[in-house]
């Protein structure tokens, strides 16, 4: 990938993000309407899809699939990240007008952290191929944790937040620190997940940026979606587990092991990965909607 392409891409994305953040600052005391939020979210999704399709023309067909697999995975992780943001802001009782600003910072921190981790991840991968065992293991561990926690939709404040609160820190500060720690955990997940799908640093960076771009607007849509997409966490844990296994298999191949206990290690082609991610997300959404549609009539959901 030429440095010109890098420069143009990053410049364009920085411009879009700057406009978005400027708008957020301007409207920070207004509540974002559902219509505005929907339009922006659709705009970012269309932008990502257009970018992904165009990749196939000026880069190569493989990169197109890698981008979509990466972007969908990162987007669903961002979604989950937002769920926790919502729980944190609700639990800390952050006022609605302040939420905009906290969110902004939360998203900027997420971008910075992912940038650092991508750079570090790329450097580590080039040096030590066995790091994929750690990446894979970490994703499998996360998947199990996600699956176990999906039944409890409560965010508990940690010792750090409780300590700062006792020292009289403002709600705003507490919310920021809580979001930053959440960002850190999600960046730790999202980077191994994307390196499990592509080794192309350009795709890693763009998939991550596109996945974080519409987050602020998505936040206002997601409140309604949150009650409907009840199985998203399970779907996400399946995707992370899948990528975790894929990474472990690839690490074995890199070590020159082609079978374990006489069982041949499968090679998972990209098309299969992309298919698995798309199908998992589609099934998750469908099952969630069917379930919420049936239970919806009996009892109004409480917040």
**In a domain? residue 219:** yes
**How many domains is the chain built from?**
1
State pLDDT tens for residues 234-272: 888 888 888 888 888 887 877 777 776 777 777 778 788
On whether residue 169 sits in a domain, the answer given is: yes
Can you give the pLDDT at residue 251? 79
- Lookup: tokens for 217: 């607007």
Instruction: With respect to residue 140, please indicate whether it lies within any of the assigned structural domains.
Output: yes
Check: CB of residue 84 under 8 Å from CB of residue 222: no
Does residue 177 fall inside a structural domain? yes
Unique residue bearing structure tokens 């996360």:
142
Alpha carbons 184 and 168: distance in angstroms, whole number: 24
Residue 283 falls within a domain, yes or no? Answer: yes
- On whether residue 303 sits in a domain, the answer given is no
pLDDT tens per residue across span 133-162: 888 888 888 888 877 766 555 666 677 788
Express each pLDDT in 52-69 by its tens digit.
Answer: 998 877 777 788 889 999
Mean pLDDT for 44-50 is: 91
Look up residue 202 and give its two tokens: 């350009």
CB 215 within 8 A of CB 20: no
Listed residue (91, 98, 104, 140) closest to 245, CA to CA: 140
Residue 300 has pLDDT above 60, yes or no: no
In a domain, 123, yes or no: yes
The model's pLDDT over 179-204, given as tens digits with 9 standing for 90+, comes to: 888 888 888 888 888 888 888 888 88
CB 210 within 8 A of CB 44: yes
Residue 209 pLDDT > 80, yes or no?
yes
Tell me, yes or no, whether 301 lies in a domain: no
* Residue 244 structural domain: 9-296
* Cβ-contact 104, 219 below 8 angstroms: no
């Amino acid at each position: 990938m030429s440095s010109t392409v890098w420069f143009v891409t990053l410049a364009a994305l920085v411009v879009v993000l700057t406009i978005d953040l400027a708008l957020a600052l301007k409207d920070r005391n207004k509540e974002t309407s559902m219509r505005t939020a929907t339009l922006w979210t659709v705009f970012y999704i269309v932008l990502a899809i257009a970018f992904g399709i165009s990749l196939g023309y000026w880069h190569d067909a493989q990169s197109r699939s890698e981008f979509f697999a990466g972007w969908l995975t990162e987007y669903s992780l961002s979604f989950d990240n937002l769920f926790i943001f919502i729980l944190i802001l609700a639990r800390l009782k952050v006022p609605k007008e302040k939420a905009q600003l906290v969110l902004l910072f939360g998203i900027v921190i997420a971008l910075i952290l992912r940038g650092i981790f991508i750079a570090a991840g790329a450097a580590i991968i080039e040096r030590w191929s066995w790091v994929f065992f750690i990446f894979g293991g970490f994703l499998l561990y996360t998947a199990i944790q996600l699956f176990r926690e999906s039944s409890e939709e409560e965010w508990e404040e940690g010792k750090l937040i409780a300590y700062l609160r006792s020292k009289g820190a403002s709600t705003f500060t507490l919310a920021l620190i809580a979001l930053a720690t959440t960002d850190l955990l999600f960046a730790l997940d999202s980077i191994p997940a994307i390196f499990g799908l592509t080794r192309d640093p350009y795709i890693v960076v763009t998939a991550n940026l596109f996945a974080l771009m519409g987050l602020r607007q998505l936040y206002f849509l997601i409140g309604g979606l949150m009650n409907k997409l009840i199985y998203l966490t399970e779907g996400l844990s399946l995707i992370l587990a899948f990528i975790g296994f894929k990474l472990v298999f690839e690490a074995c191949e890199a070590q020159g092991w082609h079978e374990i206990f006489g069982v041949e290690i499968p090679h998972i082609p990209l098309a299969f990965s992309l298919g698995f991610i798309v199908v998992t997300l589609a099934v998750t959404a469908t099952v969630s909607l069917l379930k919420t549609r049936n239970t919806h009539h009996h009892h109004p959901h409480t917040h």
